[in-house]
Amino acid sequence: MPKISPMASKDASGNTLGRSMDVNTPSTLSMMKNQVFSISSDFSNSDAPSDSGSPYKASKSPSENIDPEALSDTQSHTSRPGVATRLAMTAIKVNKWVSTARKNVEQEEPNDSMMAKVQGPPMPITPTLSHNDKVESQANDTTKPQKKKSRNVHWVIDPAEGFYFWWLLIITIAVFYNLIFVVARSCFTDLQVKNAIMWLPFDYLCDIVYLLDMIVRQKTGFLEQGLLVKDQKRLKQAYRQDFQFYLDAASILPTDLGYIVFGIHRLELRFNRVLRFPRMFECFDRVETRTPYPNLFRISILVLYIVVIIHWNACIYYALSRAIGFGTDEWVYPDPSHPPFDTLLRKYVYSLYWSTLTLTTIGETPMPVEDIEYLFQVVDFLVGVLIFATIVGNVGSMISNMNAARSEFQSKMDAIKQYMQFRAVNKTLQKRVIKWFDYLWTNKKSTDEKAVLSLLPDTLRAEIAISVHLETLKRVSIFQDCEPGLLIELVLKLQPQVFSPGDYICRKGDVGKEMYIVKEGKLGVVADDGITQYAVLGNGAYFGEISILNISGTKTGNRRTANVRSIGYTDLFCLSKDDLLEVLSEYPGAKQVLEEKGKKILMKDGLVDKKEDEEVPMDEMEMTEKVEMMAIRLTKLQSKFARMMSEYTSTQQKLKERIFQLESQGTRPLLTVTDYEQPSCSSQNDNLPPKSIESITRSKSSAT
């Protein structure tokens, strides 16, 4: 007998939900009809909101457990096509479609219990076949502006990055090529005529660079309120509104088309290529900010400007001599038909020599004859005066800037010398002071780093201090594994100090108020006689870190345990106790950790007393420690006072109860418990001591 497959009666987890049954029996057919009706009723009620908050969450229909292939097999074995079987097949297909639509909706809108509480019961959603299409269309509509926005910020050049700097160097080479060779080839025709084909690739390569530069300018961002603007529309609009855009457009105009009319040797048509000169100035400014030798670079650029002006003046002189006539007088260039003056090199060198003499006004030149020659000579003299004044002014300011540090250092040294002479300091000490100053200047040391970094903001100043001192501070054992914020605060407190040979950094028995880290040099741990040497401290060594922590119970009492002396000139970083306590006031947890580390170090060396709760004398404490100690004692006093008040209240209550018991033993009680609880009685009796209360009670009882 055919039976339904058991595999159809298992859920997703593999649990059996039903048993195989005979389809030909009337009971089985009636059961299938009931299942079909229940499926249709469940599907019709699926829009109603359920208790769990999901409009589609309903109990599984038994029809899900029916295998369609098994139904088809049963239909073939039955004598008549069952209406219930066809209905069951249709119900299964509809139920599958409902389950798929339900899953899509649940994936798109996940059920969040917290959001369901806030938003209230969900609205019933009827699954339709176009729901996914609508969601996809809405998603596409929302992503379109984002795609447009991403296109607007595509490939934006940051002017602070290296690419823009190197591109400026490339465009500067192209501008400098046109600045030198366009005017030279237009004035010295031999340079153009003999090598016309050679110059064409270089000319048009520079034109390509000019075109690319306009694209780069449109893609270069600019800062607005400290943020880089990357919107392409704004970048293009800002570039087109700039005057540089018109110069760039004029410099790239295809004036070379004039070669067709005037010939290929008319280089005057390419004079517009020189209009791109502002890019060269921008490149020079950026190089000046990046180079470690700004003064030398400024002098080099000044010399370059002078050479370019002399070059242009020489080219104009040769062109003017050709217009007037070679060899017509002594002022113009000699006749090039004569052997010494017929070469191209002689023509350029002679013109350059004449231009240099005229502009620098350091030599005599032939007197002009024609009016145009007089005018040109006057203009050259005026330009020469401006060049001379520029040279003197710029070179003088550069030299003064280069010697500014030296002059300031020398003024300080002179002031110290005058003071020592005025106070009649002995010669030996004066020599030591002068040697100390010489050491500072020779090794480029700075005695006041705060004054040097005072112009920088706090963030940059902190970054410089971290890069210079942080690794050194991490070497100290007690500061290892500390909070980064604490280390940064301590780094900012480090002060550089320089000690001369033979100087004592600390002596045995002194109260420790600073710790030291050796940056450069050598220190000797010596005996009291100053000769016997126990150890040598080199670069990276540190000492005095325990004495600035004020650890209680130490045998030395936070005093120095050895003599430390400088062997040569030694650079140290100093951290004072006041600065450390100021920083630790903001990190109370770190203070306890540091004290525990210090105690462990002292316990290893046997420098800690085993007595606990030993208080440090108030005289040896700092102000912050005194305040903390007073606060602790005040808290103890408050707790004692509260305990005494509670004892006094309980004792008073017991006395009142005792008085009430005594009065209750008499024939006529005068007072009751409620009388003591009245405000008037309590306010009078509470202020009396217990003995006065007993005397009043006795007097009243005797009167009765």
Q: What digits encode the pLDDT tens for the residues 512-525?
A: 888 898 888 899 99
Q: How far is CA 246 from CA 164, 167, 214, 253, 591, in A?
A: 21, 20, 11, 11, 66
**Residue with more model confidence, 579 or 47:** 579
Closest C-alpha to 21, from 36, 34, 2, 7 = 2
Report the pLDDT value the prediction gives residue 413, as an integer from 0 to 100. Answer: 87
- Are 265 and 193 in contact, with CB atoms under 8 Å apart? yes
Report the pLDDT value the prediction gives residue 623, as an integer from 0 to 100. Answer: 74
Domain ranges of the chain: 154-290, 291-446, 455-605
Gyration radius from the chain CA atoms: 50
Report the pLDDT value the prediction gives residue 87, as an integer from 0 to 100. Answer: 64
Report the pLDDT value the prediction gives residue 390, as an integer from 0 to 100. Answer: 84
Average the pLDDT over each of 41-45, 198-202, 481-485, 499-503 and give the range with the smallest value. Answer: 41-45
Q: How far apart are CA 79 and CA 2, in angstroms?
A: 13
For 670-703, write each residue's pLDDT tens digit. 444 444 444 444 444 444 444 444 454 454 444 4
Report the pLDDT value the prediction gives residue 86, as an integer from 0 to 100. Answer: 67
Report the pLDDT value the prediction gives residue 617, as an integer from 0 to 100. Answer: 56
Report the pLDDT value the prediction gives residue 325, as an integer from 0 to 100. Answer: 92
Residue 165: pLDDT band by 50, 70, 90 thresholds?
A: very high
Asked whether this chain's domains 291-446 and 455-605 adopt the same fold, the reply is: no
For 400-417, write each residue's pLDDT tens digit. 777 777 788 888 889 999
Average the pLDDT over each of 99-113, 319-333, 348-362 and give the range with the smallest value. Answer: 99-113
Long-range CB pairs of 439-442 (<8 Å, 24+ gap) are 439/498, 439/500, 439/569, 440/409, 440/498, 441/406, 441/409
Question: Which residue is associated with the tokens 């030798």?
Answer: 293
Residue 618: pLDDT band by 50, 70, 90 thresholds?
A: low
Report the pLDDT value the prediction gives residue 338, as an integer from 0 to 100. Answer: 85
Q: How far is CA 482 from CA 358, 478, 576, 592, 658, in A?
A: 71, 8, 18, 11, 63
For 87, list phi and psi in degrees, rounded to 5.
Answer: -65, -35
Q: Write out the two tokens for 177.
A: 């090529």
Report the pLDDT value the prediction gives residue 480, as an integer from 0 to 100. Answer: 80
- Are 502 and 540 in contact, with CB atoms under 8 Å apart? no
Asked if the model's pLDDT at residue 2 lies above 80, the reply is no
Report the pLDDT value the prediction gives residue 615, as an integer from 0 to 100. Answer: 53
Report, as an integer, the average pLDDT of 558-570: 87
Report, as an integer, the average pLDDT of 614-624: 59
Report the pLDDT value the prediction gives residue 279, as an integer from 0 to 100. Answer: 94
Residue 457: pLDDT band by 50, 70, 90 thresholds?
A: confident
Average the pLDDT over each of 100-104, 348-352, 541-545, 600-604 and give the range with the smallest value. Answer: 100-104
Report the pLDDT value the prediction gives residue 608, as an integer from 0 to 100. Answer: 65
Task: Count Cβ atoms below 10 Å from residue 590 Cβ, excluding itself.
Answer: 17
Q: What angle do CA 640, 645, 648 make, to 5 degrees?
A: 125
- Are 95 and 63 in contact, with CB atoms under 8 Å apart? yes
Q: How far apart are CA 41 and CA 48, in angstroms?
A: 12
Task: Kindly report the pTM of this predicted structure.
Answer: 0.53
Report the pLDDT value the prediction gives residue 34, as an integer from 0 to 100. Answer: 53
Average the pLDDT over each of 77-86, 153-162, 295-304 and give the range with the smallest value. Answer: 77-86
Average the pLDDT over each of 23-32, 246-255, 455-464 and give the range with the smallest value. Answer: 23-32
**Residue with more model confidence, 609 or 574:** 574
CATH of 291-446, one of 3.40.50, 1.10.10, 3.30.70, 1.10.287: 1.10.287
Q: How far apart are CA 542 and CA 517, in angstroms?
A: 4
Q: Write out the two tokens for 366.
A: 């032939």
Q: How far is CA 216 from CA 211, 212, 627, in A?
A: 9, 6, 65
DSSP 463: H
Bridge partners (DSSP) listed for residue 123: none
Local structure of 249: helix, strand or coil: helix
Closest C-alpha to 88, from 104, 69, 114, 107 = 69
- First-last CA distance in the chain: 115
Report the pLDDT value the prediction gives residue 4, as an integer from 0 to 100. Answer: 41
Report the pLDDT value the prediction gives residue 101, as an integer from 0 to 100. Answer: 61
- What integer best gives the mean pLDDT of the chain? 75
Report the pLDDT value the prediction gives residue 133, as an integer from 0 to 100. Answer: 44
Q: What is the DSSP string of 172-222?
A: HHHHHHHHHHHHHHHHSHHHHHTTHHHHHHHHHHHHHHHHHHHHHHHHB-E
Report, as an integer, the average pLDDT of 439-449: 72
What is the second-level CATH architecture of the domain 455-605?
Sandwich (2.60)
